[in-house]
Amino acid sequence: MDSEFTLGTDAAEYDAAPFHNMQLLHESKEGHCRVFLCEHYGRKVVVKALREKYRDSEAYRRMLRKEFTIAASMTHENIVSALFFNEVPGFGLCIVMEYFDGVTLTEYMHGHPHLRRSEALALLQQICSAVDYIHSRRIVHRDLKPGNILVTSDGRYVKIIDFGLSHGPAFLQFDLPGGTPGYIAPEVMETSVGAESGFNVDIYSLGSIICKIGCGHEAMAAVGRRCLAESPQSRPESAALIVPMIRRRYRVRRWLAAGIAAGLTVVAAVLMLAPEGARKASGRGEMNKARMEQAADLPSAVADSMAEPVAAQAAAANSGVVTPIPEMPATTVSNDNEAAPSDYSSLPLEEQVYRYAKVVSARRFAEHLHMWDTLTTTRSMELCMVKHWRWKAREDVRRWLEARIDTHSPYMDDLMEIAAKTVVRYGDEHQGEEYAVAQRAARRTPKATGATLRWTENLGDGKFKICWLQEDGTWAYKIEDVRSKWIRTHPDATTFPDFDTMWPDDEEQQSSGQHAEKP
């Protein structure tokens, strides 16, 4: 009996099946390959093909096969999988890979320039896990960079791509020197082809990536600088050690902060219980009394985070070097905004930061109210609504600190955290003043209320680009894939809605009642 179909389709026929809707994703000016997005039996895949002038070159065909061999041997959740290697009509020999819906780390960092510590560590944990797995396969990637790392729009998942320059013991005869400036280890540029096969060249590249991801986090930056050491022997031995090194630095800082705080508490108690005559005889009685009174005014949330910077102040005091706060002009915004005293030398550094932050907050807040009263453009309205003054106040404190302590000091983050909390608290305490001025401005210039702080752009195929204005006055964005999210939550669905009409489930966007077009 003849059958209408046969089971077990030949693998070669499957591989050569038609590829539909070929779209160019990437084409490097210096590279020899082009990358396409297409559909293969209804599944989205990525096709990497040689450029037309290289298709008949046996050397480049062998290099492409080598890249597939290395990629196909990788089975890791943070590495893009290679599916098969075959001729594709019109494109020659190609590597067919899984499609990963994300953006490069470069694009992600452009939209999220200041990651929280937990977010940066989560990204770095996945990257280091993938690199450690690659090294366990005795392979060196040799081209680790943000452009070869894909991240989902929500920043939760990471995948490493592009093994074109990778090598291992079985592929030395195909090696070519290369890499990306800024991520190439010094020894790669100084040695001959194939001589820089150590895993530490990838550790050096990771150091540059860490410094970009961990911008503003001193513990990460310190480990990143160690990875960038000129000598390969000075770098971490394995990518698996990098994240534990960062976490250990954070633990040491917490222990140090707790120890210093306990020590200061004991010293303060002893000084306060000492006889009045003994305090005066030491010449420090009045100073200690003033310190305790000023510390009592400090918010508890700030006091909890200030233990570590005391070490820097104590070292300066022991060396006889004192850096007083510059005198600031008094403000007339509110009665409790006093000008900075002419001499803060008797105060710990964190208290100096706290009081200086109050002074600059008062000045920037006064400028903020003045801007509300003199609105002339939509841009000025947007900056007022996003509270741009808070970012200016923090920058004032940062510049003041950079002139007094090392910017790479582990205390910089803690001092800036004190400043940030002080600025926010000042704004909360005076929000009634701002509300009254803002209402007056809205009545005076109703047209200016058309300012847009968020807008959404429909990219098609169920994808939306959500942009919002940040405190520093720049725009950030994220890509929301409504289609993928809906399919994940409805796996058994047989009919599908019109995804282009399903706006992202964004609380702030919905609360505004509008989907603003791009300004």
CATH code: domain of residue 173: 1.10.510.10
Return the sign of the alpha-carbon dihedral for residues 242, 245, 250, 253.
Answer: negative
Nearest to 219 by CA among 244, 184, 194, 199: 244
Residues 350 and 320 reside in one and the same domain: yes
Nearest to 155 by CA among 201, 115, 204: 115
Alpha-helical segments (H) within 282-332: 285-296, 300-304, 309-318
Whether residue 271 is contained in a domain is answered as: no
Name which of 76-90, 142-156, 229-243, 296-310 the model is least confident about. 296-310
Q: Is 513 helix (H, G, I), strand (E, B) or coil?
A: coil
Domain holding 82: CATH number?
Answer: 3.30.200.20
For the cut 80, the answer to whether the pLDDT of residue 341 exceeds it is no
Residues 117 and 81 reside in one and the same domain: no
- The pLDDT confidence band at residue 337, using thresholds 50, 70 and 90, is very low
The residue-averaged pLDDT of 270-286 equals 54
Can you give the pLDDT at residue 518? 38
The residue-averaged pLDDT of 113-118 equals 85
Residues 443 and 314 reside in one and the same domain: yes
Residues 377 and 478 reside in one and the same domain: no
DSSP-assigned letters across all residues of 326-370: PP-----S-TT-PPPPS--TTS-HHHHHHHHHHHHHHHHHHHHHH
Residues 200 and 334 reside in one and the same domain: no
Higher local confidence (pLDDT), 275 or 46: 46
Q: How far is residue 94's CA from residue 65's CA, in Å, rounded to a whole number? A: 9
pLDDT (tens digit, 9 = 90+) per residue, 81-94? 999 998 888 888 99
Residues 83 and 213 reside in one and the same domain: no
Q: How far is residue 512's CA from residue 77's CA, in Å, rounded to a whole number? A: 38
The residue-averaged pLDDT of 315-338 equals 40
Can you give the pLDDT at residue 331? 35
* Residue at a domain's end among 98, 125, 156: 98
Whether residue 359 is contained in a domain is answered as: yes
Whether residue 70 is contained in a domain is answered as: yes
Q: First CA to last CA across the chain, in angstroms?
A: 68
Q: Count the alpha carbons within 13 Å of 50 in the hemisphere toward its beta carbon.
A: 21
* Residue at a domain's end among 427, 447, 467: 447
Structure tokens at 120: 């940066």
Can you give the pLDDT at residue 48? 93
Q: How far is residue 519's CA from residue 517's CA, in Å, rounded to a whole number? A: 6
Whether residue 265 is contained in a domain is answered as: no
Q: How far is residue 70's CA from residue 80's CA, in Å, rounded to a whole number? A: 12
CB 46 within 8 A of CB 25: yes
Residues 42 and 132 reside in one and the same domain: no
For the cut 90, the answer to whether the pLDDT of residue 204 exceeds it is yes
Residue 85 phi, psi (nearest 5) = -130, 115
Structure tokens at 74: 């990788």
Can you give the pLDDT at residue 255? 66
Residues 433 and 457 reside in one and the same domain: no
Q: How far is residue 455's CA from residue 474's CA, in Å, rounded to a whole number? A: 14
- The pLDDT confidence band at residue 76, using thresholds 50, 70 and 90, is very high
Domain that holds residue 32: 19-98
Residues 219 and 112 reside in one and the same domain: yes
Can you give the pLDDT at residue 481? 83
Contacts (Cβ under 8 Å, ≥6 apart) of 153: 102, 103, 108, 478, 479, 480, 481
Percent of the chain residues topping a pLDDT of 70? 73
Residues 427 and 470 reside in one and the same domain: no
Predicted TM-score (pTM) of the model is 0.51
The residue-averaged pLDDT of 325-337 equals 37
For the cut 60, the answer to whether the pLDDT of residue 293 exceeds it is no
**C-alpha triplet 12, 13, 16: angle, nearest 5°:** 85
Whether residue 2 is contained in a domain is answered as: no
For the cut 90, the answer to whether the pLDDT of residue 434 exceeds it is no
CB 200 within 8 A of CB 185: yes
pLDDT (tens digit, 9 = 90+) per residue, 224-235? 999 999 888 889
- The pLDDT confidence band at residue 79, using thresholds 50, 70 and 90, is very high
230-234, long-range: CB < 8 A, 24+ apart? 230/186, 232/185, 232/187, 232/198, 232/200, 232/201, 232/204
Q: How far is residue 298's CA from residue 303's CA, in Å, rounded to a whole number? A: 6
Structure tokens at 469: 């204005």
Please report where in the chains the tokens 């196909």 appear, as a residue. 72
Q: How far is residue 211's CA from residue 225's CA, in Å, rounded to a whole number? A: 8
- The pLDDT confidence band at residue 274, using thresholds 50, 70 and 90, is low
For the cut 90, the answer to whether the pLDDT of residue 12 exceeds it is no
pLDDT (tens digit, 9 = 90+) per residue, 446-475? 555 556 778 788 888 788 888 888 888 888
Can you give the pLDDT at residue 172? 58
- The pLDDT confidence band at residue 488, using thresholds 50, 70 and 90, is confident
Whether residue 431 is contained in a domain is answered as: yes
Whether residue 412 is contained in a domain is answered as: yes
Can you give the pLDDT at residue 97? 93
The residue-averaged pLDDT of 57-79 equals 90
What are the Cα distances from residue 114, in Å, to 108, 227, 389? 11, 21, 18
Name which of 254-258, 386-390, 400-404, 436-440 the model is least confident about. 254-258
Can you give the pLDDT at residue 327? 40
Whether residue 283 is contained in a domain is answered as: no
Whole-number average pLDDT of the chain = 76
Percent of the chain residues topping a pLDDT of 90? 22
Structure tokens at 198: 């150590």
Contacts (Cβ under 8 Å, ≥6 apart) of 67: 48, 95, 163, 164, 166
Structure tokens at 227: 């990875």
Contacts (Cβ under 8 Å, ≥6 apart) of 126: 78, 157, 158
Residues 49 and 131 reside in one and the same domain: no
Question: Could you say which DSSP state residue 325 is in?
Answer: P
Q: How many domains in the chain?
A: 4
CB 389 within 8 A of CB 372: no
382's enclosing H/E stretch is helix 378-385
Residues 330 and 439 reside in one and the same domain: yes
Q: How far is residue 115's CA from residue 105's CA, in Å, rounded to a whole number? A: 12
* Residue at a domain's end among 230, 250, 270: 250
For the cut 60, the answer to whether the pLDDT of residue 116 exceeds it is yes
Can you give the pLDDT at residue 281? 47
The residue-averaged pLDDT of 98-105 equals 92
Highest mean pLDDT among 110-119, 147-156, 253-262: 147-156
Contacts (Cβ under 8 Å, ≥6 apart) of 319: none
Can you give the pLDDT at residue 314? 42
